[in-house]
Amino acid sequence: MVELTGMRILIVDDNATNVELLEQVLGQAGYTAVLSTRDATVVRALCAESRPDLLLLDLHMPGLSGYDVMAGIRDLIDPPRSLPVLVLTADSSREARHRALSMGARDFINKPIDPTELLLRAGNLLRTRQLQQQLESRATLLDEAVRIRTVQLEQARLESLVVLATMAEYHDYATANHTQRVGQIASLIAQSLDMPDQFVTTIQDAALLHDVGKVGISDRILLKQGLLTPDERATMMRHVEIGARILGHARSPVLRAAAEIARTHHERWDGQGYLAGLTGEDIPLAGRITAVADVFDALIHERPYKAAWDMDHAVAEIQSQAGRQFDPRVVGAFTAIEPSVLPGPATAHGATANRATANSAPASTPAS
């Protein structure tokens, strides 16, 4: 901590005798960082250069008065800089004091100067300034600690999302890495829709959990080869409800978005989806976006009930469902994405795609 006598003091007085007296009193008291000027027009430049901790300011000077000086450096006097001003004046009128206080002065000394009073009042203001600087330093350290902790919590949050998503994938090994790809595709669609950056980030994280409800579905159904029976399909549809229930009490904005996506990503634009049978824009936008991302990724990857489709065939299928299964605007945003940035299949099975088409019911499969 800097001693009071090491703190910086700027004297502004047009009278050379007054300046010499002030420098002498402060110097004898041990103050080592005293700067002075008789030119009021250079005060702002000197403040920028020397960054004083206290300004000793004469009120009545030719040209610029002390009032004019305070008006010119008001941003330095007011918070957050809060440079203390100790006014030196022979004018002891109430009006002069009120005016100086209204312009940011902290204290007064009447001329002729009493050295003891000067040192006491200057010391009090410097001590207050020192405490303020200590608080600012601690606040800076605290802000940095909060920033570091926020980064750590964000990393932990993202890791938790990945763990939850991976948990569902381990239950359904045929969809390995599906959740990460859906999150990536959903974020690309959101960007194509010119959504705010925060929405893009949130949907990328939240879409990871769109199928978390599959942890409550039997492997016998999840891993079944071929199409599901009506009863099995009804059971599979419950993963939407289970996912929403798992995430439903979360406070995190991302997990709340994930709950919304889990509940609505199998709704259809035409109202023929599940579970609520929502139509059109009654379906939350995040759910409409994830629906396209989910089905597209399911189409271009092999599943127990179907072979992988080639990219062109899958994109054409998505386009054909605009206004039926999918929001036309979302489909338009999806098709505007440069194909090279879309996460594709590890191996394209264009030769087998057509054989699987008739039996896979691709655009409405509940296992997607």
What CATH number corresponds to the domain at position 100? 3.40.50.2300
- Tell whether 155 is covered by a domain: no
Q: Does position 143 have pLDDT exceeding 50, yes or no? A: yes
Confidence of residue 297 (pLDDT cuts 50, 70, 90): very high
- Name 87's bridge partners: 57, 108
Contacts of 55 (CB under 8 A, 6+ apart): 9, 10, 12, 43, 47, 83, 84, 85, 86
> Are 187 and 241 found together in one domain?
yes
The rounded percent of the chain whose pLDDT value lies above 70 is 86
Q: Does position 16 have pLDDT exceeding 90, yes or no? A: yes
Confidence of residue 154 (pLDDT cuts 50, 70, 90): low
Q: How many CB atoms lie within 10 A of CB 51?
A: 12
Q: Does position 179 have pLDDT exceeding 90, yes or no? A: no
Render 218-255 in DSSP notation, one character per residue: -HHHHT-SSPPPHHHHHHHHHHHHHHHHHHTT--SHHH
> Are 332 and 192 found together in one domain?
yes
- Tell whether 166 is covered by a domain: no
Q: Does position 139 have pLDDT exceeding 90, yes or no? A: no
Q: Does position 169 have pLDDT exceeding 90, yes or no? A: no
Q: How many CB atoms lie within 10 A of CB 210?
A: 32
> Are 196 and 118 found together in one domain?
no
**Structure-model confidence comparison of residues 176 and 35, the more confident one:** 35
Last residue of a domain, one of 122, 142, 162: 142
Confidence of residue 359 (pLDDT cuts 50, 70, 90): very low
pLDDT value for 270: 96
**Count of residues in the chain:** 368
**306 touches 360 (CB < 8 A):** yes
> Are 353 and 207 found together in one domain?
yes
Confidence of residue 137 (pLDDT cuts 50, 70, 90): confident
- Tell whether 149 is covered by a domain: no
Pick from 22-36, 130-144, 245-259 the range whose average pLDDT is largest. 22-36
Per-chain mean pLDDT for the chain: 85
Q: Residue 127 belongs to what domain range?
A: 4-142
Of 23-32, 90-99, 122-131, 346-355, the range with the lowest mean pLDDT is: 346-355
Q: Where are the alpha helices (DSSP H) in 103-177?
A: 115-171
> Are 121 and 247 found together in one domain?
no
Q: What is the CATH number of the domain that holds 288?
A: 1.10.3210.10
What domain count does the chain have? Answer: 2
pLDDT value for 148: 79
> Are 202 and 345 found together in one domain?
yes
- In the block, residue with structure tokens 């002030």: 22
**198 touches 215 (CB < 8 A):** no
What's the average model confidence in pLDDT over 118-138? 87
> Are 67 and 210 found together in one domain?
no
- Tell whether 320 is covered by a domain: yes
> Are 108 and 187 found together in one domain?
no
What's the average model confidence in pLDDT over 152-175? 60
Of 10-24, 142-156, 289-303, the range with the lowest mean pLDDT is: 142-156
- Tell whether 53 is covered by a domain: yes
pLDDT value for 168: 59
Q: Does position 363 have pLDDT exceeding 70, yes or no? A: no
Tell me how many degrees the CA angle 66-70-74 measures, rounded to the nearest 5.
175
- Tell whether 313 is covered by a domain: yes
> Are 18 and 133 found together in one domain?
yes
Q: What is the pTM of this model?
A: 0.55
- Tell whether 153 is covered by a domain: no
Contacts of 190 (CB under 8 A, 6+ apart): 199, 200, 203, 204, 289
Last residue of a domain, one of 94, 122, 142: 142
- Tell whether 256 is covered by a domain: yes
Q: How do residues 308-336 score in pLDDT, each as one tens digit?
A: 899 999 999 999 999 999 999 999 999 99
Q: Where are the beta strands (DSSP E) in the chain?
A: 9-12, 34-37, 54-58, 85-89, 107-110
> Are 230 and 268 found together in one domain?
yes
Q: Does position 356 have pLDDT exceeding 70, yes or no? A: no
> Are 131 and 178 found together in one domain?
no
- In the block, residue with structure tokens 């929502």: 278
In angstroms and rounded to an integer, the radius of gyration of the C-alpha atoms of the chain is 36
**Structure-model confidence comparison of residues 292 and 365, the more confident one:** 292
Confidence of residue 306 (pLDDT cuts 50, 70, 90): confident
What's the average model confidence in pLDDT over 247-273? 90
Cα-Cα-Cα-Cα torsion 104, 107, 111, 114, nearest 10 degrees, comes to -150
Of 2-16, 66-80, 343-357, the range with the lowest mean pLDDT is: 343-357
Long-range (24+ apart) CB contacts under 8 A made by 43-47 are 43/10, 43/12, 43/69, 43/72, 43/73, 44/72, 44/73, 44/76, 46/10, 47/10, 47/73, 47/76, 47/83
